[in-house]
Copies of this chain bind each other. A is one copy, B any other.
Amino acid sequence: MADDTPVPLTPGSTIGILGGGQLGRMLATAAAELGFRIHVFVPDATSPASEVAAAHTRADYTDVEALKTFAAAVDVITYEFENVPAECAVLLAGLKPVRPGPLALDVAQDRVREKDFVRSLGIGTAPYAAAATADEARAAFKALGGKAAIVKTRRFGYDGKGQVRVTSADAAAEAVTQLATPCIVEGAIDFKGEISIVAARGIDGRIEAFDPVENHHKDGILHQTFAPSTISAGPGAEAWRIAGAILEALNYVGVIGVELFVMRDGSLLVNELAPRVHNSGHWTMDACNVSQFEQHIRAIAGWPLKPAVRFADCVMTNLIGPDVLNWKTYAAEPHAAIHLYGKRDARPGRKMGHVNRLYPLNGRP
């Protein structure tokens, strides 16, 4: 790759973002605070991110000419969602630095590849097997204990979409047939709770992590994040170790979200990787000295990371669909910070904003 990009990237440089959702929007405003210009690449005519960006390319992720013009107009490229087509990432990476690099995308886009990678580092996951056909699904279900499993699409799942819980081999087979795409069958595990850790790796290899947090879901979508996690005192250091090993192995630059199951014995299994800023890191906007968004921009710009310090406890609540209609209530709470994404249509299941409620340090009720 011909990379003439100065490191660190000079203020006034342009950062390209693939994707225009709320993560892109919050990345864009964080980048603006550091003096950068933002150029958003997104197929939509309007998007949460393009409304706060200096420039906007409206084109498909497969439009080679548009991608080349975009690459020529920016100094570094990042993305706000992991389902960027692989060809797109490879093409761009040949023209300008793409951070995190295509390896992270490649690993995170396929649930089987992701779990293979995690296990190759000696880190645990739920038991799993690939299943592209009904027969393979039946075999996988039996091999995984034959009691309960989750069938998931290998690719393009998010917010619980493309997932079916099954309790028989026939149901597993039917799920794979219905989903009509290569799947993974994951053995159901008996976990105590779900936590995540949002961590960053700088261009110099330095790693900074925010405190691990506890996540509660509703209808397959993240509902609340509790910072810090209080499931148990133990997993903190172990979560750090896991995130660090993953960041190193991917030679990663940027922020990553690592979702973890906390088992009954306190051990941790990796559930999923998100090679980007993560919904469970939104609390950092109001309770830390640096937000995950600024930390990501610092990393991809080759700036030094900030040591991440939490100065308050926080409960982050997503505003999903019509929840946002209660914005007046949240706006009036003295210790709540409200963040809205500028989306017009409050469709069910759509992430419209979030509220961070602050509590004294180590004093969360």
A contacts, CB < 8 Å to B: 8, 11-12, 25, 28-29, 32-38, 51-54, 286, 289-290, 298, 303-304, 306-307, 311-312, 324, 327-328, 331-332, 334-335, 337-342, 344, 353, 358
8 pairs, CB–CB < 8 Å, chain A vs chain B: A29-B32, A32-B52, A34-B340, A35-B353, A37-B51, A38-B51, A286-B289, A290-B337
| Contact status B342-A12, CB under 8 Å | yes
Known contacts: A52-B54, A331-B303. The answer to whether A25 contacts B32 by CB under 8 A is yes
Taking CB atoms, residues of chain B closer than 8 Å to A54 are 51-52
Q: What residue of chain B has the Cβ atom nearest to residue A37's Cβ?
A: B51
B312, B335, B340: the one within 8 Å of A11 (CB):
B340
Taking CB atoms, residues of chain B closer than 8 Å to A353 are 11, 35
| Contact status B8-A328, CB under 8 Å | yes
Closest CB pairs A-B (n = 5): A35-B340, A51-B54, A29-B29, A11-B340, A304-B332
What is the minimal beta-carbon distance from A64 to any residue of chain B, in angstroms? 28
User: Complex Cα distance A12/B312, Å?
Assistant: 30
Q: What residue of chain B has the Cβ atom nearest to residue A26's Cβ?
A: B33
User: Complex Cα distance A290/B358, Å?
Assistant: 12
Taking CB atoms, residues of chain B closer than 8 Å to A25 are 32
| Contact status A11-B327, CB under 8 Å | yes
| Contact status A334-B311, CB under 8 Å | no
Taking CB atoms, residues of chain B closer than 8 Å to A290 are 337
User: Complex Cα distance A337/B53, Å?
Assistant: 22
Q: What residue of chain B has the Cβ atom nearest to residue A294's Cβ?
A: B337
Taking CB atoms, residues of chain B closer than 8 Å to A307 are 334
| Contact status B342-A35, CB under 8 Å | yes
User: Complex Cα distance A51/B12, Å?
Assistant: 11
Q: What residue of chain B has the Cβ atom nearest to residue A28's Cβ?
A: B52
